[in-house]
Structure 1
Amino acid sequence: MVVLGVQTGTSASAADRAEGAAALPLSASQRATALKDAQADASATAGRLGLADGEKLVARDVVKDADGTVHTRYERTFDGLPVLGGDLVVHTAKDGALKGSTKARKGAISVASTDAATSTAAAKKSAVAADKSIKGAAADSVRKIVWAADKSAAPVLAYETVVTGTQKDGTPSELHVVTDATSGKELYRYQAIENGTGVSEYSGTVAVGSTASASGGFDLTDGGRGGHKTYDLNGGTSGTGTLFHDADDTWGDGTVSNRQTAAVDAAYGAAETWDFYKEAFNRNGIAGDGKAAYSRVHYGNAYVNAFWNDSCFCMTYGDGISNQHPLTSLDVAGHEMSHGLTAATAGLKYSRESGGLNEATSDIFGTAVEFHAANSADVGDYLIGEKIDINGDGTPLRYMDKPSKDGGSADYWSRSVGRLDVHYSSGVANHFFYLLSEGSGAKTINGVSYNSPTYNGSSVTGIGRDKAQQIWYKALTTYMTSSTDYAAARTATLQAASDLYGASSAERAAVAAAWTGVNVN
C-alpha cells in the first residue's frame, strides 16, 4: 500500500572506501552466471558454515562490490522442505576467503520428523478461516515447510497456505498463513500484497518510453528499460487488461478524463524508478535481472489504493476518490515498485517490525526517486503521497520528519511498535532516514517546512540524502534478512556505513546518532 563485525579503519579516503564497497553493475547474464556458480558451490558453502545434515542452500541473489567482496543470499532447505526464516547472506572476500555471514536465524535447523500429524485439508480450512474479512476466501495453495522464523522457539514442521480473495478495501488478497503441522495451531500470518512524451496529471509534460507497433501507431512499451508495459484495466480487477496504444505517440492531456493520463504517470514513475536504481546503485532493474515489471491502471471502481504484487511482478493503481485522483504520483510509483526490490533482496516479512521496515524501505526509495527525478511539477520532499489527496483534505499520507503528524505513525521505537499496522510502525525507520539525511530541528527544503524532533532531545546533524540512501541500500541488500527487526536494522546500517565510509567515519557516527534519536539503541 502507498504507503557483524566492524571494519577496521585504514588510511584510504572515505571516497575510496565508498567506491570499493559500492555494488558493481551486473548484466542479466552476469547475474545469472554468478547465481549458477553460487549454486554449484552451495554444498561446500554449507559445509564452511557448519550447517547440519539435511540442510541445503539455494542461491537467490548475488551482489558484487568493487573491491571484490561477494555477498550471496541463500534460502535454506531441510530434507528438501523450504525453511521459512532460515535465509542467510554469505560474505566472501575477493580471494574466496569467508569474511562472515548474516543469518535470519543462527544455529542448525532441524525437526524430528517431516511426517505431518495434520492434513493439508485441515491446514487449508484453518487458513481460510483466519481472516473473515476476506471476501471469497479460498486456499490457493498449501505446502509443507519448516518454520524457523520464531527465534524464541525451536523450528517446527508446518504448513504454509496462501489464501486468495478480496480484502475489505478491494485490494486482492494473498494472505500467507503458517500453521503447526502437529497441533494445527496458527503460528504466523502476513499479507503479501504490499499496499506501497505525454502529459501527466502530477508531473507535467514528461518523456515516456514507447515502441512502434507492427500494425501501426505506438504501444506504451518502454524498450529501453526492460520492456515495461502499461495496461488499462478499465475498471477490471484481474488479468492485464489492454496495452495502451496511440496513433501519434503523444499520450494523455493532463486531465483525469483522458484515460491515457494515468498511464503516462504510471509509465513515467516506472521509468524514473528504473533510472534511479541504475544511476544510484548500478542496479539493473528492480530484481537486478534486467527485466521490467509491468503496470496496470484504472483498477476497480473508485479504488483508493495502489499495490505491488510480487507473484505477477506488477504494479496496480486505482483511480482514487470518485475516480478523480489516480494513485499514480511519482513517489507512490517509486514506493510500490520498491516493494519488488525488497522482495528480491532481504525479503522482509510483511508483518511486525520487519513489515514496518519493509514499508519504510518503500517510503525511503519512493522519496529518493522523487528527488532524483528533479521534476519542477513535483519537487522532491519528505512527504508521502502529497499529490494524490488520499485523505480528501489535501494532506499527505505520511510525514518522514515527524511521522506522528499523520495521526497513527510512531516517531520512536517502543516494545509495542511491532503490534502496529506496518504502515504506522514504518514511522520509526522513516524518521531515522530523515534525521540521517537532514538532521533534527526546523528547516525548509524545496519550499516545504520541516521540524524533526528526537527521542532524547539530542541534536542530530544529517549527512545528506545521497549518503543516507547508499547506506540503507547496502544494508538492505547485503545485511538484512527476512526477519530483521529494528535492533538488527541498526546493526545492519552501522555495518553498511563502516563498509562504505569507514568504521571511524562521521557517517557511521551519524547512523548511530540517528538511531538513538528514534530510541533504537
Structure 2
Amino acid sequence: MAAVALPATTATADTSAVNGRTAASPAPRAGALPVRLSPAEHAALLAQAHARRAATAKALGLGAQEELRPKSVLKDADGTVHTRYERTFAGLPVLGGDLVVHAAANGELKNVTKNNRAAITVASTAAVRTAESAKGFAVSRAKAEGGKDSTADSVRKVIWAASGKPVLAWETVVGGVQHDRTPSELHVITDAATGKKLFEYQAVENGVGNSQYSGQVTIGTVKSGGKFTLNDTTRGGHKTYDVAHTTDWNVAGTLLSDSNDIWGNGLPSDVQTPAVDVHYGAQVTWDYYKNVHGRNGIRNDGVAAKSRVHFDNNYTNAFWMDSCFCATYGDGANNLKPLTQMDVAAHELTHGLTANTAGLYYGGESGGLNEATSDIMSAAVEFWANNPADPGDYLVAEKSDVWGDGTPGRYMDEPSKDGYAADYWYAGLDDLDVHDSSGVGNHWFYLASEGSGAKTINGVNYDSPTYDGVPVTPIGRDAAAKIWYRALTVYMTSATDYAGARTATLQAATDLYGLGSATHINTAAAWAGVNVGTRISGALVAGLGDQNTLLNTAVSLQVKAVSTNPGALSYAATGLPAGLSINASTGLISGTASAVTTSPVTVTVTDSSGSTATTQFTWRVRSYVNVFENTTNVPIPDTTQLVYSTINVTGVPGNAPSDLQVRVDIKHEFRSELTIDLIAPDGTVYVLRPYNGSEQGPYVATTYTVNASSEVAAGTWKLRTGDFIYGDAGYIDSWKLTF
C-alpha cells in the first residue's frame, strides 16, 4: 500500500451513516441479498448453466432452432440462482433475445424474465440486402453524426428481437472517432430484407467530469525490481496506465511506476496526480460493490478492469470500452482539468458492470437507463466513500466545469437545470441523447433516496419537484441503491425501457423489502413522481412468472397478494391447466396437471373495497423430457473417412419418441461435402443429411426430427459424419438428443 502527496485530508471507506442523510433505509430481507461468490464458485455456476442449457431451453419451451448461451450468474442467500442467457436462432445471434432464468435452491425453475416474449423465428435466414449495402449505410450514419475516419470494422447476420416481431437483420460495427474525438464503435442494425434502420447505439460509453483532488489517500501498489507500480493486487489486479496523450485507443500505455511509493503532488501538471485519483476511484468502486452488493469485480469473477490516463490533449471526457475491458480518461481543458474524480471513475466502471449484466443498449430509453445507472451507482459510491475532500452529493461531475460556467455536468434532483436533460418521462424521450434521457432515472433515484421538496445535504441545496405535484416520501439512499442494483443485475434486459425499469425495481423492492411494504409503495411513488406509472393503492399481487410442470405431477403454488385497504382478499384464475384449481380464499393453486398444454393464465385478486389486481403468465405442462448433449469436438478429416461421436442415454424409460429432436452443430467450410447419420443403440441408421454436392454455404446448425419410436431410448446413440470431397476439413462442435 502507498501514501500519496495530496492536500492534507484523509479518506476512508465507511458503511456507517453519512452526514446529510435525510431518510433511514430499512433492513432488506436477508434471503434476497446476493451471496459473495469466489471466482471458482462463479465459474462453477456458469459451467453448470452451460451443461444444462439444452434442458433449460426445453423447459422454457424454446423452439428447436434456439440455443441458450450463459452470460452471467448471481446467487441469493436463500439459494436462488439467477442465470442470464443470450440466445441464438439457427446459429445466428439474437439481439434482444436475452433472458434471465430464476431457479430455486433445489434447481426447480421459478420463473423467467424475458426481454421479448415473442416467439423467436423468421421465415428465412437468407438476406435480401447484401452485407456490403449494410456496411455502406452504417458508415453513412456514422458520418452523419460527425464521425471521422469512419470504416465498417465488421458486419454479421443477426436476428433483431429487441422490440416487436423478430426480423432477420445485419449488425454493422463502424470504427473511427466520434465528433468529440472519443473512439467510435457504432452498432447499426438494418433490416436484411428492406435495408431500413432498426436501431443504432454506441458501444463506447462515456461521461463527463474532472477530478481536482481526493485528499491524501492510501492506494494499492506493488514493488517490483526496485520500483513501485500502480497495481492493486488486493482488488483483482487493477492497474493504471499512462497513454501519454495518444489518440490511438488501442494503445495499452505504460504502467505507472515510482521510486519511493509517494505518488503525485496534488496538481494536474504532475503526470501521477490524475493517475492517483483514477486508481483511488477504482479502488473505492471495487470496495463498494464488494462490501455493499457482494460483487467480486465488474464481471463478478475477481478480475479488475484496467484504467488509462492522459488520453489525447485537451480531451474533456472519459469513456468505457468493453473491447479492452478498460476505462480511459482525458485531461480536460488545457490538460489542467483531468476527468478523474471519484464519481467519474465509478461512473465509467459501472458502464462495465452494466455491460456484463443487463447489457442495456446504448441508445433510446435503454441507453438513458444505461447512463442513469452509471450516475446512480457513482452517487452511491461517492456517499459510501465518505471522503471529506469529495463529500457525497447528487451532482454529476460537479468539479469539472463542463459548461464553462462553474455549474455541474448534471443534476439529479432536477435534471432539467442543465438545460438539456428531462425531468419526467414523455413520449419521444428515446429521441434524446442518452445523457439527457438519463434524467428520468436520475430524478427517480433522488426522489427515492431523499424525497421531494427543498433540503440541504452535505452543504448542497436541493429542491426536487414531482410531475403531478404530489410529494414523495423517501425510502433512503441505501435502499434505493440496493433496489436499483438488484433490478439491473436480476431483472433488466438489453432493451429495457423506463416502464420496464419500473417493473424491475418494484420486483426488486418486493424481493428485498416485501410486497406492499412502505419501501415497495414509495418506490412506485418515486416513479409516479417522474411520470412513469402510477402510485400504488388497493390490491397488489406478486408476479408468479411462467410455470413449467410435468404431466401427472402434483402442483402447489401460492399466490402472494396484499392490499392497502383493510379486509379479506378473494382470488380467481382463468386458463389454469386441466386438473388445477385456485382456492378463492387463500390463493393456493393446487391439483395434478392431467393434460399436456401451453396455457395463458390470469390470476385476479380482489380486496374488500372492490379494488382488483391481476398477474398474467404462461403455464406449460409437458410430458417426460430429457436432454443429452456431447460438446467434445471431433475432427472431420479431409477424406472419405467416417467419424463418430457418441451419447449415452440413461434414465429414460421405454422407447424413444416419434419426434426425437437431434441438434447437430458442425464447423466446416462447405456443408455440401458432408453426410450425417444418426445410429440408434441397435445399429439402425437414420439418415439426417445425405450427400448434396450442389448445396452452398458453410457450417451445419440444424435440428432434425426423427421418428425413433421403434427404438429403445436407453443405450449408446451415435452421430456419424464424413467429408466426401478433398480440399477442406472441419469438426463436430456439438450435438444433442432431446427426448
Is 1:144 equivalent to 2:157 in the alignment?
yes
CA RMSD between the two structures: 1.2
Following the alignment from structure 1 to structure 2, what is the Cα–Cα distance between the partners of residues 118 and 386?
48
**Residues 310-357 of structure 1 deviation map (CA, whole Å, 9 limit, x = unaligned):** 111101111111111000011111111100010000001011111110
Residues 117-145 of structure 1: CA distance to partner in whole angstroms, max 9, x if unpaired? 23222222221111212111111111111
Distance 1:97 1:242 in 2: 50
CA distance in 2, matches of 1:144, 1:30: 35
Q: Give, in whole Å, the separation in 2 of the partners of 1:502 and 1:225.
A: 34
Q: How far is the alpha carbon of 1:480 from its aligned partner?
A: 0.4
Partner letter of residue 123 of structure 1? A
Corresponding position: 1:111 with 2:122: yes
Task: Map 1:336-355 to 2 at 5 A.
Answer: 336-355=348-367
Render the CA deviation track for 1:261-311: whole Å, top value 9, x for unaligned.
000001001001100100110000011111111111111010010011111
How many Å separate the matches in 2 of 1:246 and 1:18? 47
Aligned pairs (5 A) from 1:38-57: 38-57=49-68
Q: CA deviation at 1:465?
A: 0.5
Bigger relative contact order, structure 1 or 2 (CA pairs below 8 A, ≥6 apart): 1
Residue 486 of structure 1 is matched in structure 2 by: 498
Q: 1:167 aligns with which of 178, 202, 210?
A: 178
Q: Report the CA distance between 1:111 and its aligned residue.
A: 1.0
Deviations 1:127-170 (A, max 9, x none): 1111212111111111111111122xx21111111100011111
Corresponding residue for 1:504?
516
CA offsets 1:7-27 (integer angstroms, 9 cap, x no match): xxxxxxx97862110110111
Deviation >4 Å, runs of 4+: 14-17
C-alpha distance in 2 between matches for 1:94 and 1:209: 37
Q: Distance in 1 between matches of 2:462 and 2:132?
A: 54
Structure 1 letter corresponding to 2:460: V
Q: Which amino acid aligns with 1:483?
A: A
2:247 to 221, 233, 237: 237
Equivalent residue letter for 1:193: V
Q: 1:81 aligns with which of 80, 88, 92?
A: 92
Give the SS at the match of 1:205. Answer: coil
| TM-superposition CA deviations, 1:441-466 (whole Å, max 9, x none) | 11111111111111111111111111
Residue identity matched to 1:382: Y
Q: Deviations over 1:20-67 (max 9, x none)?
A: 101101111111110110111111111111111201110001111001
1:320/1:390 contact within 8 Å kept: no
Conserved? CA contact 1:230–1:294, under 8 Å: yes
| Cα displacement (A) at 1:216 | 1.3
How far residue 180 of structure 1 moved from its aligned partner, in angstroms, is 1.6
Secondary structure in 2 matching 1:224? helix
Contact 1:321/1:390, CA 8 A, preserved across alignment: no
Give the aligned partner of residue 594 of structure 2.
Answer: none
* 1:109 counterpart SS class: coil
Q: Does 1:519 align with 2:531?
A: yes
Asked if the contact 1:297/1:317 (under 8 Å) is kept, the reply is yes
The within-5 A match list for 1:350-429 is 350-429=362-441
Q: Which residue identity is paired with 2:364?
A: R
Given candidates 98, 111, 121, the residue that maps to 1:100 is: 111
* Higher normalized helix content (fraction of residues): 1
Which of 144, 155, 175 is equivalent to 2:166?
155
8 A Cα contact 1:201 1:261, kept in partner: no
The answer (yes or no) to whether the contact 2:368–2:435 under 8 Å persists in 1 is yes
Secondary structure of the corresponding residue to residue 355 of structure 1: helix
Q: Distance in 1 between matches of 2:269 and 2:49?
A: 51
> Relative to structure 1, is the Cα distance of residues 40 and 431 closer, same or farther in structure 2, using a 3 angstrom cutoff?
same
One-letter amino acid of the structure 2 residue matched with residue 222 of structure 1: D
Q: Does 1:218 align with 2:231?
A: no
Asked if 1:253 is matched to 2:265, the reply is yes
Letter of the aligned partner of 1:366 in structure 2? S
Distance in 1, Cα, partners of 2:514 & 2:117: 27
Counterpart Cα distance in 2 of 1:180 and 1:418: 20
SS at match of 1:271: helix
1:24-63 matches, cutoff 5 A: 24-63=35-74
Task: Return closer, same or farther for 1:48/1:402 CA change in 2, 3 Å cut-off.
Answer: same
Does the aligned pair in 1 maintain the 2:212–2:337 contact within 8 Å? no
Counterpart code for 1:432: W
Contact 2:382–2:391 under 8 Å retained in 1 = yes
The answer on whether the counterparts of 1:20 and 1:67 sit within 8 Å (CA) in structure 2 is: yes
Residue 565 of structure 2 is matched in structure 1 by none
CA distance in 2, matches of 1:121, 1:463: 53
Instruction: Tell me, yes or no, if structure 1 residue 300 matches structure 2 residue 312.
Output: yes
For residue 10 of structure 1, what is the aligned residue in structure 2? Answer: none
Equivalence for 2:198? 187
Query: What is the alpha-carbon distance in structure 2 between the residues aligned to residue 237 and residue 230 of structure 1?
Result: 17
Deviation at 1:187, TM superposition (A): 1.6
Is residue 202–residue 387 contact of structure 1 (8 Å, CA) maintained in 2? Answer: no
CA distance in 1, matches of 2:191, 2:118: 21
Change (3 A) 1:243 1:16: closer
AA aligned to 1:237 is T
User: Separation in 2 of the partners of 1:31 and 1:15?
Assistant: 29
2:142–2:174 contact (8 Å) kept in structure 1: no
Letter in 2 for 1:180: D
Amino acid paired to 2:161: A
Mapped partners of 2:333, 2:387: distance in 1: 25
Question: For residues 161 and 523 of structure 2, what CA distance do their matches in structure 1 show?
Answer: 30
Conserved in 2, the CA contact under 8 Å of 1:460 and 1:517?
yes
1:322 matches 2:315: no
The count of residues paired between Structure 1 and Structure 2 equals 502
Distance 1:61 1:162 in 2: 24
Decide whether the 8 Å contact of 2:475 with 2:523 is kept in 1.
Answer: no
> Are the equivalent residues in 1 in contact too, given 2:229–2:255 (CA < 8 A)?
yes
| Contact 1:438/1:464, CA 8 A, preserved across alignment | yes
Where does the alignment leave 5 or more consecutive residues of structure 1 unmatched?
Answer: 1-13
Name stretches of at least 5 consecutive residues in structure 2 with no aligned partner.
1-24, 534-739
1:210 is displaced (CA, Å) by: 0.7
Q: CA deviation at 1:183?
A: 2.2
Deviation at 1:188, TM superposition (A): 1.2
The answer to whether the Cα contact below 8 Å between 2:212 and 2:399 also exists between their aligned partners in 1 is no
- The match for 2:453 is 441
Q: Tell me, yes or no, if structure 1 residue 135 matches structure 2 residue 135.
A: no
Counterpart for residue 477 of structure 1 = 489
Deviations 1:230-273 (A, max 9, x none): 11111102202211010001100000110000000010010011
SS of corresponding position for 2:328: strand
Q: Distance in 2 between matches of 1:188 and 1:380?
A: 36
Q: TM-score, normalised by structure 2?
A: 0.67
Normalising by structure 1, what TM-score? 0.95
Letter in 2 for 1:25: R
2:470 is equivalent to residue 458 of structure 1: yes
Rounded to whole Å, the distance in 2 between the matches of 1:447 and 1:37 is 50
Contact 1:158 1:182 in 2 (8 A): yes
Given that residues 117 and 182 in structure 1 are in contact (C-alpha distance below 8 angstroms), is that contact kept between their aligned partners in structure 2? yes
CA shift, 1:391, in A, is 1.7
**Distance apart, 1:95 and its partner CA:** 2.0
| 1:71 lines up with 2:82 in the alignment | yes
Q: Which amino acid in structure 2 is aligned with residue 124 of structure 1?
A: K
CA distance in 1, matches of 2:464, 2:174: 41
Tell me which amino acid in the other structure corresponds to 1:205: Q
1:179, CA displacement in angstroms?
Answer: 1.5
Give the Cα separation in 2 of the matches to 1:178 and 1:467. 37
